[in-house]
Amino acid sequence: MKRLSTADRTSPVPPLAKGSGDEPPFRLEAFLPYRLSVTANRMSRAFARAYGTRFGLGIPEWRVMAVLGTGGAMTAGGVVERTAMDKVKVSRAVAALEAKGHLARRPHPEDRRSALLELTAAGRRVFEQIVPLARALEAELTAVLGPDDRARLAELLARLDAHLRDVGDATLDAGDPG
């Protein structure tokens, strides 16, 4: 990390003090969408590293396992609903998990376009190893917030998310680092 040597050069350009009146100058680091994005990406990266090195899983794969591990058998569409992921991403994560032997498809009794997805016994063992790790990592990474603030943050995010879903053209999606 080097110090900016622009100290000598910053004076000439007027700091662009928003002409239209007395609004405070725009500050990116106080801009909520920016804060959200940066923090979420940092968090995602930490988890991606943990899942990747210990279990060879990406975040999409982990999410699929998470819903199948607790929700029982369901279709790919059900996974899409519950993970807020794109159907393409779910499709690929399911294929990857199947190739790893963590997941099996069985024909849907009422719809031959679809299939029921289920963790294999091996997949369930992996899932049960991941859950404690995920909880511990969550606890460690959010340790600065006490339990109260953590709950508060979760609640604020849930409220904000619900609102965004209403306002924002219902664009289902969740992404990872980016």
Partner DNA sequence: GAGATGATGTTTCAGATGAAACGATTGTCA
Partner DNA sequence: TGACAATCGTTTCATCTGAAACATCATCTC
Binding region for DNA (CB under 7 A): 2, 41, 58-60, 75-77, 80, 85-92, 94-95, 110-115, 171, 173, 175-178
**Minimum distance from CB of 88 to DNA (Å)?**
4
101 and 122 in contact (C-beta within 8 Å)? yes
Give 91 or 142: the residue with its C-beta nearer to its own copies. Answer: 142
Which residues, other chains included, contact 133 with Cβ-Cβ below 8 Å and sequence gap of 6+?
50, 54
- Nearest Cα to 70, choosing from 82, 80, 55? 82
**Minimum distance from CB of 103 to its own copies (Å)?**
13
Binders of its own copies in range 47-86 (CB under 8 A): 47, 49-50, 53-54, 59, 63, 66-67, 69-75, 77-78, 81-84
**Minimum distance from CB of 100 to its own copies (Å)?**
18
Q: Is 128 in the site for its own copies (CB under 8 A)?
A: yes
- Nearest Cα to 15, choosing from 29, 27, 33, 3? 27
Q: How many of the other CB atoms lie within 10 Å of CB of 65? A: 24
